[in-house]
Structure 1
């Protein structure tokens, strides 16, 4: 929560320079308290798992959040009960009549398919454009990040020689950004993907800024529009056993399955995974809510419905 301090207290300027969220009395009295509205476009096949992963991270803030789940009109999920979709998901056309403080667009199991061949590509393009006008800050995850980078900036994706699979050490490029408040010099991030975007392509677009990189995993987090959009190529939201389940699911089904890197204790899949990314994940999502959504959203109660 922000520190509320008397107007003109000398400590305010000092703390602000240290990247501490300080609110003076004038601003505090003008705050209109309402729940922040977050919409999640969940494109993952195991929707209940992804819902749980994201809500777990979003819950680590004392701010009140209202969570909405958006479903596509042009695609019917095969792995989630229709009863669940009817009960908890709302149609994209309905939700796109409203404004939201924040949005999360997940990955999808279509990363090796050309974008234009994805059956819901036209609809998701419309959602991307709507989000720019009606959502204050959006997180795009994995395939969602690559798809949005392609849609907005024509950034291509490239097929990797082998699946990028494991937990990789990542370094913030600008540790002073509020999104990295509380982070160590490096942090760990899960990756599970067959494609990538390249630094050389992103560098050609002045509006895009690479804010986290990994020597092994490459470009990890990109931002644009002063934090209105974040493109995250990994999966900070993953639960401890997600990669383990994926690895054991694919064993025996394909001959190219490799053990996830830097994941199991002593690199032994018979041992439990080492959870090395949870603190960074909690910080990242809390910082996004606190500093890019709560502090920045211009929407008031009359705007959002």
Structure 2
């Protein structure tokens, strides 16, 4: 089944070239089913890349999904045109009177800052508090996962001695969770961050459970026991070259950056990166959308 997005969105042409079924708004309006409504709060500076990656994952399910894109009003993005934001993105004032089946909040390159020092922190908190009452299930990525754990449960973050950068093995601590149904016992997850949360701080809260853990970098997938919140510390939606582009950018800028772990064959940046996370990267989005959104959300969204 298709993903329903605006016809002119750049992701539309990219996904169609990949033979992903993208339904036009006109056709979707004439189907006698209710699509799932998913709101994406995109905090990444590379908005078009991130929105395309997420829509690629959400489109590969048997469900019709209607996407709204949300941006912060208190932070001006310098890496995307104002026309793109004006054409395809809403602000909180535009959506605050609506309800959604699901919501995805992306990461952001602000891990080194104290949460309260992030210039859009107050707006982020307002949106998250609103989402608790207006969204059936919320999926938090990377920085957003850490920020939500802090705001909702008081779980602190810790800066790491060096950047967590590469593709890391993770093992399932709760393989019975539908979120990781179909996962191998050991799977791989792309990571790119300067901070982490600790297992012992998370499990102090009975409302939280650690689903997957890496012996090298700690918790990687956490959820609330009521399945309202999902905290994914990595980036299962990443493309083959996402880490490469980040590495090349930092090398060109003269920044200290190590070769991404478990990414290039023989750790040779001249070779093509090997994708080891694609299957589980798709499964986690499909499972979240199916088991925790579609199968449990009320048909009447006003009942959320």
TM over 0.5, yes or no?
Answer: yes
Give, in angstroms, the shift of residue 301 of structure 1: 6.0
The runs of at least 4 aligned residues of structure 1 exceeding 4 Å deviation read 301-304
For residue 196 of structure 2, what is the aligned residue in structure 1?
Answer: 196
Contact 1:34-1:301 within 8 A present in 2 as well: no
Alpha-carbon distance in structure 2 between the residues aligned to 1:254 and 1:86: 34
Unpaired stretches in structure 1, ≥5 consecutive residues? 2-31
Unaligned 5+ residue runs, structure 2?
2-31
Match of 1:245 in 2: 245
Shift of 1:206: 1.3
Normalized against structure 1, the TM-score is what? 0.87
Larger Rg: 1
Please state how far the C-alpha of 1:123 moved relative to its aligned partner: 0.8
Q: How do 1:160-199 residues align onto structure 2 when only pairs under 5 Å count?
A: 160-199=160-199
1:136 aligns with 2:130: no
Q: CA deviation digits over 1:149-178, x for unaligned, max 9?
A: 110111111110000100011112111111
For residues 33 and 300 of structure 1, the distance between their equivalents in structure 2, rounded to whole angstroms, comes to 13
Corresponding position of 2:268: 268
Aligned equivalent of 2:61: 61
Say which SS state the counterpart of residue 166 (structure 1) adopts.
strand
Determine if the alignment matches structure 1 residue 46 to structure 2 residue 46.
Answer: yes
Distance in 2 between the 1:301 and 1:40 partners?
17
Q: How many residues align?
A: 274
Q: How many Å separate the matches in 1 of 2:103 and 2:77? A: 20
The alpha-carbon distance between structure 1 residues 254 and 292, as it changes in their structure 2 partners (threshold 3 A), is: same
Once the two structures are superposed, residues 196-236 of structure 1 have per-residue CA deviations (whole angstroms, 9 ceiling, x without a partner) of 11112112111111111011121101101422110111010
Deviation per CA, 1:6-42: give whole Å up to 9, x if none: xxxxxxxxxxxxxxxxxxxxxxxxxx93100000000
RMSD of aligned Cα (Å)? 1.5
Instruction: Give the conservation status (yes or no) of the 8 Å contact 1:41–1:69.
Output: yes
Change in CA separation of 1:146 and 1:301 when aligned onto 2, cut-off 3 Å: closer
After TM superposition, the structure 1 = structure 2 runs for residues 1-305 of structure 1, keeping only pairs within 5 Å, are: 33-254=33-254, 256-300=256-300
Q: Distance in 2 between matches of 1:187 and 1:219?
A: 13
Q: 2:183, 2:165 → 1: CA distance?
A: 23
Measured in 1, the distance between the counterparts of 2:271 and 2:278 equals 19
8 Å contact from structure 1 (residues 99, 303) kept in 2: no
**2:226 partner SS:** helix
Shift of 1:254: 4.0
1:252 and 1:46 map into 2 onto residues whose CA distance is 18
Going from structure 1 to structure 2, the CA distance change for 1:176 and 1:289 (only over 3 Å counts) comes to same
The TM-score, its normalising length taken from structure 2, stands at 0.87
Give the whole-Å Cα distance in 2 for the aligned partners of 1:266 and 1:58: 33
Question: Which string of whole-angstrom CA distances, capped at 9 and with x for unpartnered residues, describes residues 31-79 of structure 1?
Answer: x931000000000000000001000000111210000001212111111
User: Which deviates further from its counterpart, 277-286 or 252-261?
Assistant: 252-261
Aligned residue in 2 for 1:23: none
- In structure 2, how many angstroms separate the alpha carbons of the residues matched to 1:202 and 1:291? 23
